Structures are given as structure tokens and as C-alpha cells.
Structure 1
Amino acid sequence: MRDETEDSSDYKGLTADYFDRRSETYDQDAIHPKLASIVIKHARLEPGLSVLDIGTGTGRIALHASKLIGNEGSVVAIDLSSEMLTQAHFKAGMQSLTNIQFIQGDAEIIELEDASFDRVLCSSAFVLLSNPLRALKTWNKWLKPGGIVAFDAPGEPFGINSIIAEIASSHGIFLPYSTAANTPEKCGKLLESSGFDALEISEELLQEHEMHLDDALAVWAKSIVHPAWHKLAQLPAKRLEGIRMEFEAKVKAAAADGTVMSRIAMNVATGRKQGCVQ
């Protein structure tokens, strides 16, 4: 969870700019399609449902959900990035999908009607929320009786990024990748505290492979520009350089025969709105 004292508009602008830049290559990532499929499976979609997709990006969840719920159902898909939504619009048009409404905006402050959705889904965006618990409470209000929420969050381990997060925490800097919902217990507590009964919380190992040492070291430069690492990137240059050097030393120490094992795990949590008889 991000520090609430940080300027929200600056952070949201940074996030939108980052994903604008990534829009044309975002679908080349191997992890996000796997996550979207898992979240869709956990969401228990049926024809005729109304679905809200938070942080839709290039529309993976929205497009998949659109086909499963059919023309009698509807999807509202929200994202901060106009360029990501351009990609989503294009894909929806190419597939002749007409039951999706794309909205550019901030899902944490947008006003939507209470009890208007059967499902609220969030894939690959949960750690970008300013306040995950507050967001879940809002999503609960937007759900109809018996409605279901499904979201994913980085688990343990989370590849080479876990090394960065571990070092950061030793310096008193707690990043959302390692604090928001990195264990099933945290996911369960978030669901319960926001008015949901947990239906399923699964730990998914999405990737396990050996990385060449140079590739593992290059993770630093890729991660430090991601909005979820904003608190680390804001540090004074000298302090940040010291943390980077610690990171390099740990990665090199973990290397065997010039390679480092990287395992990426995700938690996928599904909850049903409390107080509903099924």
C-alpha cells in the first residue's frame, strides 16, 4: 500500500504516463495473459452478468468477459491510461464486441451506482491502488447482493523483484509488491475487512526459470521505473545507488554458473459479498 501522504495526482499521472509508454508492447508480456485467464476462471462468469473491470489495460479481462457473458451481459472497463484504452478499443472492434464500455479515469475516485454489478475484477493492477482496503470496500458497494470480486497480487517469491523489495524493507521502505497482499492470509484479511466472504485464495506459480546473471541484474532498471516502486525511485540519488549496489551484490551471490533462479508467484483472491443467502 502506498503512503497516503504522497501526492495522489502526481502518482496517478506517473502511472498513466508509464502505461501510455508501454501500451504498444504490453501484450508481449508472458505473465499478464496467464493471470487474466486465472482471474476469469475464478470469477465464475455466466451469460447475462454485468462486469466491472478495474485497470483494464489493453482489455484482456474485458474482452474475455464480454464473450463469456454474451450480448445480454455488459462490461464496464476502466483505466487511467488513454493509450492502453486505445489498444483495448482496437481489439474490441476487431472482434466485433459491442457489450463493452471503456472509460478513461481513476477507479479509486470514479462515481458508480451502488449495487450495479455482478462481478468486479482487477488483474495486474491491485498493487497500484493508493489504498487497497478502501478500494475493496468501494467495490463491495458497487456489487449486487451475492456479487463476486476477484483480484490478483504478487505473492512470495516474486522473481528477482523480491530481492529488491527485501533490501528496500531493510531500509524502512515498504513496497506494495511485498506488502499489499503478498500472502493468502493478507488476501483473506483484506476480503473479510471489506465485507466479503472468501470463496477461494490460491497461490499460483506463474513462472520458474533460470536467468542469466546480466538479465537478472537488468531487472533493477526495469523495475525502478514502474509506478509500484515509486517510493524507492524517489530516494536521493546517493541512497538509491547504495540500495542498487546491495541488490547487485545479493544477485551475484545467488548466481550459480552464471545464472539465477527466478520464481514468480501470484495470489488470486475471490470473495462474495457478505450477507447474501446462496
Structure 2
Amino acid sequence: MNPTPQQAVAAVFDRVADGYDKESLRLFPFCADRLLNHLRPAPGSRICDVGAGTGVVTVAVAQEVGPEGRVHAVDMAERMLDRCQHHARLLGLNNVDLHAMDGQKLEFKSDYFDAVVSSFVIQFLPDMAAALKSWMRVTRRGGRVLFTAFGEEAFQPLIDRFKKDLLSHGGRLPEGGSITNQKRIDSAEKCRALLMEVGLDAVSVAEEQIGYHLATTEDWWELVTNSGFRALLDTLPEDAYEAFRAEHLAAIGELRGEDGIWLNIPALIAWGTKP
């Protein structure tokens, strides 16, 4: 039986889990800090983190809500949840629960959480509106639903070069899926429209630049091999891999400036309140 699209995504993230916290991927903790600034959970709050990954948002929120609060970390990639648990234990956090669960169909009772958050995950869910409605259902009245997404120019021009080189060496770009969904939420206006479509009130979107310079082309390679981009990389024919790597990194090296290779990451933090 063929895996569902979400199971296929989970398999990719299981594969990259051990490298997901590498320095070149520091965009995720950077964005977690910005997200927390907008969430501002009260001590004792119950929060659900959908697509928790290795736990950068989970552990940050768990520290804020304190021992009387609770964070429920949801992910279909169980290896990612193992890393999340590891990080929670390192920080001595006892207020984190882990759930291997479909983020589009949360299995919690209605009106349970003070907030549901999700960082750079919603684009991987086949029906983003259905996912948001599921998140709303488990959120109490007056609670908030919050997600982050990449802006239109995220990873440019590096990612366009990546796709061009990938195709020239026999790789493939998937039809639909996360790429199409990402384009539906790559601006503040599009994020607002989606949140309003599902019935959230007091909708707002913050635009944050969380980019940084990569020191070497190997840092870029580390990023693409240990993130969701791995799914594209894995479409290469096995005998084309090394040639692709050499040509692509040579092209990326030409983008290097005095401070390194700029990784442009405009991030969108969008939220609304359940009426």
C-alpha cells in the first residue's frame, strides 16, 4: 500500500531528525523566539504545538507556561518526537506530552487548549483550511490559533538555483503538495485571508526577517540535506548525486559576499482568536 502524502512527509522528517538541530538550520529556533513574543502564554496555560519536530517551539513554550502549564507536542514523525523528548529532558521539563498524531485531525476534546501553535508545518497538510478548523475546535473560546509560514522570497536566490540544478540532473519537483500550499500562504494578505476563511476573529500577521549568513557552501548543503528540501534531493538518480552536488555548490559559491552567503528568510507569523 502506498503511503499517504502526510506519511511520506513524516518519513522524510524521520530521516533528517538527527541533523535538524544543526547550526545551519538555526532559522527554526530564531523563529520560535519571535513566535513566543507574539504568543505570550500565561503561566498555567495549555498549549498544543502541531508539527513540533525536535521541539524548539515546544520547549520554549513549556518554559513560559511553567510547571502548572502543559504543552502537547504533536508530530507524525516519531523520530522527531524522540528528539523533542530529548531536549525537554535536557532542560528538566516535566510539562511536555508527546503525541504521534495527524496534525490535520487532532484527537483532543473540544475547547481544551488556550492556544494551538504550528511553525512552518501547515503547508505540508493537504487541506490547510481543514487543519485550521481542527485546531480551532480544540481551542477554547477566546483562545488563539497561530502559525508561521515562509514569505515569497524565502531562500532566494539559492532555492531557485537548487531547483534548476536538480532538474538538469534528472531530479523532480513534486506536483502540488507543500510547494503549492506554500504559495497560498506566502504573503501577509494570503495568511489573513486563510485565517478569516475559517472564521477566526482579530486576525493579524507579523512579518519578521530571520535570515542570516552561511559561512560556506557546505553550510547550505547541510541545510538542504537535513531539512524538508531533502525530499527534493532524494528524487535525483543515484548516479547523478555527486555531479549535482559539485555543480550546485560551485554555483552557490558564486553568491558569496563579504559576510558569507546570505540566507534570506522572510517569515510570516499569523494568528487569530476563536470567537
TM-score, normalization by structure 2: 0.76
Aligned partners of 1:156 and 1:266 also within 8 Å: no
Residue matched to 2:8: 11
Residue in 1 that maps onto 2:88: 92
**Whole-angstrom CA distance in 2 between matches of 1:56 and 1:35:** 13
Task: Give the drift of 1:200.
Answer: 2.6
Q: Deviations over 1:45-77 (max 9, x none)?
A: 112211001111222222222222223222111
The alignment partner of 1:37 has SS state of helix
Is the Cα contact below 8 Å between 1:154 and 1:177 reproduced in 2? no
Q: Distance in 1 between matches of 2:195 and 2:266?
A: 20
Amino acid at match of 1:114: S
CA distance in 1, matches of 2:60, 2:8: 29
1:228-243 mapped onto 2 (5 Å cutoff): 230=231, 234=235
CA contact (8 A) 1:35 1:124 kept: no
In 2: Cα distance, 1:71 partner to 1:260 partner: 41
* Residue equivalent to 1:203: 207
Q: Secondary structure at the match of 1:103?
A: strand
Measured at CA, do residues 20 and 207 of structure 1 come closer, stay the same or move farther in structure 2, by a change above 3 Å?
closer
Q: Distance in 2 between matches of 1:13 and 1:103?
A: 14
What is the identity percentage for the equivalent residue pairs of Structure 1 and Structure 2? 24
Counterpart position of 1:191: 195
Shift of 1:29: 2.7
Amino acid at match of 1:62: T
Task: Determine the C-alpha separation between the residues in 2 that align with 1:178 and 1:106.
Answer: 19
Matched residue type, 1:183: S
Supply the distance in 2 between the matched residues of 1:49 and 1:89 (Cα, whole angstroms).
20
Write out per-residue CA displacement over residues 123-154 of structure 1, whole angstroms, 9 at most, x where no aligned residue.
Answer: 23233222222211111111100110111111
Shift of 1:104: 2.1
Which AA in structure 2 matches 1:272? T
| SS of residue paired to 1:102 | strand
| 1:227 Cα deviation from its structure 2 partner | 4.1
Tell me if the contact between 2:9 and 2:124 (Cα under 8 Å) persists in the aligned partners.
no
- More strand as a share of residues: 1
1:20 counterpart = 2:17: yes
Shift of the 26–138 alpha-carbon distance from structure 1 to 2, 3 Å rule, reads: farther
- Using the TM superposition, give the Cα deviation of residue 232 of structure 1 relative to its aligned residue in structure 2, in angstroms: 8.4
1:206-225 correspondence runs (5 A): 206-209=210-213, 214=217, 223=224
Distance in 2 (CA, whole Å) between partners of 1:225 and 1:87 is 14
For 1:158, what is the secondary structure of its paired residue?
coil
Distance 2:128 2:79 in 1: 24
Which amino acid in structure 1 is aligned with residue 39 of structure 2?
A
CA drift at 1:120: 0.3
Residue 76 of structure 1: aligned partner: 72
d(CA) in 1 for partners of 2:90, 2:255: 46
> In 2, are the aligned partners of 1:128 and 1:228 still within 8 Å (CA)?
no
Q: Which runs of 5+ in 1 are unaligned?
A: 1-5
Q: Distance in 1 between matches of 2:85 and 2:94?
A: 10
Instruction: Note if contact 1:140-1:195 (Cα within 8 Å) is conserved in structure 2.
Output: no
Tell me, yes or no, if structure 1 residue 152 matches structure 2 residue 148: yes
Whether the aligned pair in 1 keeps the contact of 2:19 and 2:226 (CA below 8 Å) is no
1: CA distance, partners of 2:128 / 2:141: 21
